Amino acid sequence: MTTEPTTDAFAGQPIVELERDGVRYTLLGTAHVSKTSIDAVLAAIDSGRFDAVAVELDEQRHKALTNPDALAQLDLVKVIRERKVAPFAANLALAAYQRRLAEQLDIEPGAELKAAATEAVARNLHLQLIDRDVGITFRRILQGLSWWDRMKLIGGLAGSLFDKEDVSEDDIERLKEGDMLESSFGDFARDTPSLYATLIDERDQYMAAKLRERDDGAQHVLAVVGAGHLKGMAKYLADETRAPAALTAELAHVAKKRNIPWITIVLMLLICGGIAWGFARGGADLGKDLLLQWVLWTGGLAGLGALLARGHLLSILTAAVAAPLKPFRPGLPPGMFSALVEVHLRKPAYPDFLALRDDAQTLGGWYRNRVCRVVLVFLLTNLGSMAGVWISGAAIVRKLLG
């Protein structure tokens, strides 16, 4: 026997109900750090009114919430080879932020989403994960930012990893009415309109389109989403006319980097041309001096980066050798090679993955945990190499003009 839920079944949480194409949707807005939201979700699902449940999760976040061993199944070599280390590092920053919230508020952030997914499966209701992959969101964010804003964002995320202060009351209140990803980016998200559009508005469109993509025959769908998405999703669910499959494909598209990295090529040509000019006009001594400047600065700083990450000796040597060869492989960063050597020589063990979320919160944990240290080797090698390119380039120009 089923009963129609009353307003009390939603425990005072905001809802929007609308009908489209013969399907009735109930959008339940929740706070990601509220026990009341968990009660509202369970009451709504247990009412028996709904025959399908959709949640504001992607496959990756769903696994992280419902499967404690999900991280242990990560193929770190694949992450490095597919150049997904930066999104992976951003995920660690998000996990560290969520852990701080959990310790401060005594509730796991996103617990109501986990409860919705678990209860739907327990009641044999069709479960749909409607959020966009967080890695795609992060890459689309970076794609729309200037170089300086990228550095600010990355620096802010890095700082949040080791921030020991409690999350402010204002941030907690905003989180109750907003979005977990937006909150993890802090003030930067609120001050950067393009970031807000990618974090919130695009995902409102994406999740509304995913709801319209359903093919399970459900007649009444409960969609559990953060309260900050309620208004936008309701608007797009009611008014959007574009085909949902085409829209989700468009919003999940990340423009590939140009096959020809012109800036890198031009920079390398200028430096290599300067060295060749040195050999031609200044003789072997000047040419060798310029070449030595290039090798020492790029290889030395890349190796120093790997050393600061406490990489294996062979990882450090790989960084030092790979960086000066950058002109011959402009699309492959030296950190990729040093990180691959690191992961093979110091293969992360199962306990490293289990402790990853805790270790990612402290600087000592980053050096102790082999997964984190591989990420450090990748990032610091590339930072060192980048610095070496510019410093050596400036030194070569000074030599040629002096």
Domain ranges of the chain: 7-251, 262-401
**Local confidence band at 5 (pLDDT 50, 70, 90 cut-offs):** very low
Name the token pair of 95: 């996990």
Contact 298, 324 (CB under 8 A): yes
Tell me what the mean pLDDT of segment 285-310 comes to. Answer: 87
CA distance 343 to 240: 46
Which of the four pLDDT bands, split at 50, 70 and 90, describes residue 401?
confident
What mean pLDDT is reported for the chain? 79
The pLDDT of residue 319 is 94
% residues pLDDT > 70 (the chain):
72
Average pLDDT, stretch 180-187? 59
Q: What is the pLDDT of residue 222?
A: 95
Task: Tell me the pTM.
Answer: 0.69
Structure tokens belonging to residue 238: 């009611």
Q: What would the pLDDT profile of 104-118 be if each residue is shown by its tens digit? A: 667 777 888 999 999
Compute the Cα dihedral for 87, 181, 257, 328 and give only its sign: negative
Long-range contacts of 138-145 (CB under 8 A, 24+ apart): 138/86, 138/87, 138/90, 139/87, 139/254, 140/198, 140/202, 140/254, 141/195, 141/198, 141/199, 142/86, 143/254, 143/255, 144/194, 144/195, 144/197, 144/198, 145/192, 145/194, 145/195
Question: Model confidence over 185-222: pLDDT tens digits?
Answer: 655 555 666 676 777 888 999 999 999 988 778 899 99
Whether pLDDT at 346 is above 60: yes
